């Protein structure tokens, strides 16, 4: 979620993922992510990217697909993570993970409370200076 340059998708595929799907509200980010995947010899249906607002666009949600992902990676500020997090259970398989980073430490509890309220179990919290990442599982 928030595919940016596509680096997380590229890393996932190079580390063994069969495929990756990128979603970003910014059309330029989607274009750049597609190009960066091509530059890394990732072609065809191994990387698919969509542009749009996943929080309220049911047609986009239909395209992304329901209950089919093992992992969602999101590296955006806490407010945006919380704002889109209600969609995570739609897309994840049971037992799927969310790795959320880009969180400033003072907003950590807000993210944790939000995830728990959606039925996620918090597996891990990592801190580096004032930045935090959260790994959670959806059962």
CB contact at 8 A, 98 and 138: yes
Identify the DSSP state of 65. Answer: -
Nearest to 24 by CA among 39, 15, 16, 36: 36
* Positions in the chain whose pLDDT score sits under 50: none
The string of DSSP letters for 92-137 reads: EEEEEEEEEEEEEGGGHHHHHHHHHHTTEEEEEEEEETTEEEEEEE
Per residue in 81-116, pLDDT (tens digit) is 999 999 999 999 999 999 999 999 999 999 999 999
Our measurement of the distance from residue 89's CA atom to the centroid of its chain's CA atoms, rounded to an integer in Å, reads 12
């Amino acid at each position: 979620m928030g595919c940016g340059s596509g680096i997380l998708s590229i890393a996932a595929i190079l580390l063994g993922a069969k495929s990756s799907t990128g979603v970003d509200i910014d059309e330029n980010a989607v274009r750049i992510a597609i190009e960066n995947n091509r530059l890394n010899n990732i072609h065809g249906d191994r990387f698919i990217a969509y542009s749009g607002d996943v929080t309220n666009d049911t047609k986009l949600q239909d395209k992304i697909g329901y209950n089919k992902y093992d992992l969602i990676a999101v590296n955006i500020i806490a407010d945006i993570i919380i704002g889109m997090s209600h969609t995570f259970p739609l897309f994840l398989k049971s037992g799927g993970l969310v790795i959320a980073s880009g969180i400033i430490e003072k907003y950590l509890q807000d993210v944790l409370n939000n995830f728990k309220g959606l039925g996620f179990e918090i597996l891990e919290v990592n801190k580096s200076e004032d930045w935090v990442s959260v790994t959670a599982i959806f059962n």
